[in-house]
Amino acid sequence: MQNTAPHKRANLRDVAAAAEVSVATVSRVLNAPGSVARDTRLRVEDAMARLHWTPSAAARAINSGRSRFVGALVPTLDHDIFARLLAELESRLAEHRLSLVVATTRRRSADEARKAQGLLDIGAEGLLVSGAVRAPEFHALIERTRLPAVATSWYDPGYALPTVGYDNRAAALMALRHLTDLGHRRIAVLHGPLATNDRTALRVTALEESDHDLVFHATGMTIADGRAATRAALAAPVRPTALLCLSDVQATGALQECLHAGIRVPEALSVIGTDDLPGSAHLYPALTTVHLPVGRMGRVAADAIAGWVEAQRRPEAQLLDIALMARDSTAAPPSEA
């Protein structure tokens, strides 16, 4: 029989008592171990261990005004690109001793503001968002609270939030250039929804502004959508010699459709993607695509937001390099059509 209370979690006072020091000393071995005499410190640490004590994050937060976590607002986790982004964010933030709380917006503008508010309510010190946020309430919130927030997946030094990402226009044009350099003139473009995805919109706009005569096919973001859009593109009166897909997922669908339809790639049709997903190099044929540095983007964004919340350093917009990965799905167009 012990006469201590039944089973309450120990607190700092208990540790102080057990180590026969004051609460301040215990707090010191936590926050400034150097300022505590060696054997005092040892006694305290021993007491902490005996009582299985860990400081209460809530109590520390209330005093320090810091919660040590940031929120990430992504449209979905179903797309490999966001999953990889989060993975890198999480591991890099951990190095800054920051945790990551995840929220998904399902591409709904209403969710953007609501979930951002939710993250704020639970004490997020910063926000990471993917792409431009449409909801005006979101921006009002950020402005009002002065919450550090960085946007990823695109680059725009003029945006309200610091951006860490690549040049989406350049990515689309790089793919286009590759095709035209090979001699393609009849090119169909497969792209995702413009209304809910500004990166896609940027890519499409860049292509529209080029002098080339492109046919655009809007579709969804799944492999099945890519297949369907490919069917549509190939059924056009003037059949394209190349398919420019603004997402590797759609390109994957395009390749599948060609396989099913018996169309030889790249001999009869060239296919190029955008993203360079892990699987893209292993498709049949290996997909030529524009590499978007998602992993590095995650790390850079993590450092940016960490620097901001830790040291009040508002980061500059950062442009990350993209690169053409020429593989086996593109070639010169068939000599005569």
Partner DNA sequence: ATGAAAGCGCTAACAA
Partner DNA sequence: TTGTTAGCGCTTTCAT
With CB under 8 A as the contact rule, the residue among 40, 45, 55, 218 that binds a second copy is: 55
Site membership for a second copy, residue 260 (CB under 8 A): yes
Site for a second copy in 270-299 (CB under 8 A): 278-279, 281-284
Site membership for a second copy, residue 102 (CB under 8 A): yes
Site membership for a second copy, residue 100 (CB under 8 A): yes
Burial of 49 (0-12, 13-18, 19+ CB in 10 A): exposed
Residue 218 contacts which entry, a second copy, DNA, none (Cβ below 5-8 A, type-dependent): none
Site membership for a second copy, residue 118 (CB under 8 A): yes
Site membership for a second copy, residue 12 (CB under 8 A): no
Site string for a second copy, 203-222 (x = CB under 8 A): -------------------x
> By the 8 A CB rule, do 254 and 232 touch?
no
What is each CA distance from 305 to 45, 123, 190, 314, in whole angstroms?
33, 15, 34, 8
DSSP labels for 278-336? TTGGGSSSPPEEEE--HHHHHHHHHHHHHHHHHH--PPPPEE---EEE--SS--PPPS-
With CB under 8 A as the contact rule, the residue among 39, 121, 213, 336 that binds a second copy is: 121
Number of shown-chain residues binding a second copy (CB under 8 A): 54
In the complex with DNA, the residue whose CB is nearer, 13 or 264, is 13
Site membership for a second copy, residue 252 (CB under 8 A): yes
Query: Rule CB under 7 A: which residues touch DNA?
Result: 8-9, 11-13, 20-28, 30-31, 35-37, 40-41, 53, 55-56, 59-60, 62-64
What is each CA distance from 315 to 31, 143, 165, 253, 254, in whole angstroms?
28, 16, 13, 38, 39
> By the 8 A CB rule, do 167 and 190 touch?
no
> Contact positions toward a second copy, by CB under 8 A?
52, 54-59, 61-62, 67-69, 76-78, 80, 82-84, 86-87, 90-91, 94, 99-104, 106, 117-118, 120-123, 144-145, 222-224, 227, 252-253, 256, 259-260, 278-279, 281-284
